[in-house]
Amino acid sequence: MPDLGKILIIDDNEDVLFALNFLLEPLTEKVKVMRSPERIVHFMTDYRPDLILLDMNFTRDTVSGQEGMECLRTILSTDPQAVVVMMTAYADTDKAVQAIKAGATDFVSKPWENGKLLATLHAAMRLRRSQTHAARLAERVEALNAERESPKLQLIGDSDGMRHIAETAKRLGDTDVNVLLLGENGTGKDVVAHYLLAHSRRAAEPFVRIDVGAVPEQLFESELFGYEKGAFTDARKEKKGRMELAHGGTLFLDEVGNLSAAAQAKLLTALEQKRIVRLGGTKEIPIDVRLICATNADLRRQVADGTFRQDLFYRINTVEIHIPPLRERGNDIQLLADFFLERYARKYRKDIRDISREGRDKLQHYPWPGNVRELQHAIERAVVLCAETTLHAEDFLLYPVRPSQNATAEQPTLNLQELERQTVKRAIRLADGNMSRAAELLGITRYSLYRKMEKLNR
């Protein structure tokens, strides 16, 4: 790759422009020249030069250098990190000091010596690269810190369903395949996403999350792809989007089923081309992300209804992982209850050590329509209000579940596939989440049960 990146030369002397272009063209990625600084903002935003060679004097004033200083101020207001090397045929110490104080990187006089000019430009390019590297590191640290600020739940559970998820995550560790997480609200899709991350080769790279349902449709594009300064009224400076921040790492799209048709099309294009364009920009930016999506929606039904693109659906679910509801996870309820008890007893400095047998029975037989999230809140509330060292059944405020909330699948139906789905669910409930036992009740092997569950959830 050329050593000097992209260079923009601004000078009103055609001979100077020709000579510099001839000298620098073999050493650069690209050279552009301007005879007047009037369109400098356009060139800065469209061309995005790595280095700028700027003459200090133009036709209005050939000795004072004021036109060059005005242009320098315009450049730095457009890009405060711009690397600008000033040039003048009337070099003196005062002008050099004035240019450096105003933000120029260096200063060369005309006529120049090729060796000294190239040395100056190579030094300036090293500065540019160090600035770019530092900026990228800062952005990555910000992205990583933002994720680490929120506590992450562990993947807790000994049920067959959770063991299957853990085994799948480990098998995917050496791949970058896109994963679609399916499950009811509160089942822990974000926890599984972090488990996938921890066992992937991108574990040390940025993990960037977007809650699609929480981002207004009109802001989603700028949130995902970023925007340039001036792209809209409040865009006072450029901003990198989540996809760009996740470059080299993992992008987690939660509630992906809420994507609008327009957002689906743009996301598909970005994934297929592996590049994006910021809002208000023209430059294509390469991206390399591993995509994890999650939803509680029936995406296959949305595809059939025409509300979710089929091509995007196949792009995001190279591997599909179904997270079972808590009511089908058997003894995992007790393991999770103990985990949350320890966490909140420590957080609220309570000497609460256990849950009574009656309390555990109440937790075990409650259908948990809100899944793990509801259990977590129930344990936290009990810990806060309990004045003893043991939690009892009366400490858990659990609301009766209406049939419409938790038993819609039990409604009479003559659809064979739906009857089969209900039978499988009932067997799993009766087996307290033990898949081997559920398979025995159904008269099939455990492998056949997993295959049947995958088929019925399509």
Q: CATH code at 169?
A: 3.40.50.300
Residue 66's domain is classified under what CATH number? 3.40.50.2300
C-beta separation of 212 from 258 below 8 A:
yes
**For residues 339-367, average pLDDT:** 94
Residues 293 and 373 in one domain: no
Checking 191-197 for CB contacts under 8 A at 24+ apart, the result is 191/152, 191/153, 191/154, 191/155, 191/372, 192/155, 192/165, 192/321, 192/323, 193/252, 193/292, 193/294, 194/152, 195/155, 195/165, 195/166, 195/169, 196/169, 196/172, 196/250, 196/292, 197/250, 197/292
Residue type, 392: H
- Percent pLDDT > 70 in the chain is 87
Closest CA to 308 of 258, 348, 358: 258
Domain boundary among 361, 376, 403: 403
Q: E-assigned strands of 272-337?
A: 275-277, 284-286, 290-295, 319-322
In a domain, 144, yes or no: no
In a domain, 145, yes or no: no
pLDDT at 445: 81
Residues 256 and 384 in one domain: no
Distances (CA, A) of 214 to 43, 211, 217, 222: 36, 5, 9, 14
Query: Hey, is 80 helix, strand or coil?
Result: coil
Residues 308 and 231 in one domain: yes
Instruction: Please provide residue 166's backbone torsions phi and psi, each rounded to the nearest 5 degrees.
Output: -65, -40
- C-alpha Rg value of the chain to the nearest Å: 31
**pLDDT class for 61, splitting at 50, 70, 90?**
low
Q: Is 342 exposed, middle or buried (0-12, 13-18, 19+ CB in 10 A)?
A: middle
**For residues 383-409, average pLDDT:** 78
Residues 291 and 308 in one domain: yes
Predicted structure pTM score: 0.61
Residues 336 and 278 in one domain: no
Residue 442's domain is classified under what CATH number? 1.10.10
Residues 318 and 338 in one domain: no
Residues 215 and 361 in one domain: no
Residues 391 and 421 in one domain: no
Residues 421 and 294 in one domain: no
Count of beta carbons in the 10 Å neighbourhood of residue 433? 24
In a domain, 189, yes or no: yes
**pLDDT class for 236, splitting at 50, 70, 90?**
confident
Instruction: Please provide residue 434's backbone torsions phi and psi, each rounded to the nearest 5 degrees.
Output: -80, 110
Residues 316 and 340 in one domain: no
What is the domain range of residue 439? 407-456
Q: Which residues pair with 51 in a beta bridge?
A: 7
**For residues 411-422, average pLDDT:** 67
pLDDT at 202: 92
Domain boundary among 281, 296, 322: 322
Residues 169 and 189 in one domain: yes
Residues 382 and 444 in one domain: no
Number of domains present in the structure of the chain: 4
In a domain, 141, yes or no: no
Question: What is the spatial order of strands in the sheet that 106-109 belongs to?
Answer: 30-34, 6-10, 51-55, 84-88, 106-109
pLDDT at 251: 95
CA 359-362-367 angle, to 5 degrees, is 145
Distance CA 253, CA 293 (A): 5
In a domain, 437, yes or no: yes
Q: Does the pLDDT at position 70 exceed 60?
A: yes
Domain boundary among 276, 301, 322: 322
In a domain, 140, yes or no: no
Residue type, 192: V
**For residues 308-328, average pLDDT:** 94
Q: Does the pLDDT at position 150 exceed 60?
A: no
Q: For the chain, give the number of residues.
A: 458
